[in-house]
Amino acid sequence: MILNVSGRTDIVGFYTEWFMNRYREGFVDVRNPFYPKQVSRIYFKDVDAILFCTKNPIPIVKYIREIKQPILFHVTLTPYQKDIEPNVPRKSKIIEAIKQISAMIGPECIYVRYDPIFINDSYTLNYHIKSFSTLCRLLKGYVKTIIVSFMDDYKNARKHRYQLKWKTLQETDYAAIGQNFSSIAKQNGMVVQTCAEKRNLVEYGFQQGDCLSIELAKRLTGKNVKKWNARNNKNCNCAQMVDIGVYNSCRHFCKYCYANYDEKQVKENYQKHDVASSLLIGHLEENDTIHVKNMSK
């Protein structure tokens, strides 16, 4: 079993203490987001690898050597300012944390996500090209792969359209991104890829890959891993993972986020968080149904 920590919220950024409590106790409980009374119990002895997805890896750096399973990191690092990402720490601090993690787990196990790309009057095409060049230069030798994606029309993005003011990318824009990003990445000993994007930019030297490929999952775990059937995107071929996060619980409040769509609920959920609970948000209740999840059997 591979844990995704997490595509639903930034557990590393806001709930690292809770995660480490669960890891030390040996299990974590996860509510089904569609049937909340159904709870999956996951024992860490059944976990073969962990994929940490975060915008802020700083809180977990000091705990990494305590984790015995193989680890992958996806760190989202974009050039947007507080108008778009109000609670993301300074990018220079995130870059330093990436370097520390890379030194511990190796550059082949830490990916940077330049994700999502959108353009407006402030965040222009040239702005992105310059930012991407700076990012690659600073992370040369510490990161081998950068994953790129483009703005999706999520509910939360539509709600903040007046702030995002994003423009539809034209083919000339894709060409400029493809040519420049490929060249910059190559100059810095990196590859750049897309995952589950209609415009994969392979004609400009991008790789068409997966966030976590079946092949990489097997190398990490030594096991055959199924495709992630929970994905609705037909272009996705990622390995199957189990997400232990909760939607509407990330306090970064990024204006383009797909996992948050109700900021009031985010604040309410955060108030229900207890670092001693087996659940990320709230506690187990008497009429919950708990079943042990073990995908290896």
- Note the residue count of the chain: 297
Burial, 3: exposed, middle or buried (Cβ in 10 Å; 0-12, 13-18, 19+)?
buried
- Return the H-helix or E-strand segment holding 28: strand 27-31
Q: Which single residue is written with the structure tokens 């040239």?
A: 126
List CB contacts of 59: < 8 A, sequence separation 6 or more: 12, 13, 16, 17
**pLDDT score of 208:** 83
Q: β-strand 49-54 against 207-209: which pairing, if any?
A: unpaired
- List the domain boundaries for the chain: 2-292
Total-model pTM: 0.93
Per-residue pLDDT of the chain (297 residues; tens, 9 = 90+): 999 999 999 999 999 999 999 999 999 999 998 899 999 999 999 999 999 999 999 999 999 999 999 999 999 999 999 999 999 999 999 999 999 999 999 999 999 999 999 999 999 999 999 999 999 999 999 999 999 999 887 778 888 888 899 999 999 999 999 999 999 999 999 999 998 788 899 999 998 877 788 888 888 898 888 776 555 556 667 788 999 999 999 999 999 998 888 899 999 999 999 999 999 999 999 999 999 987 654
Query: In this structure, what token pair is assigned to residue 225?
Result: 């891993």
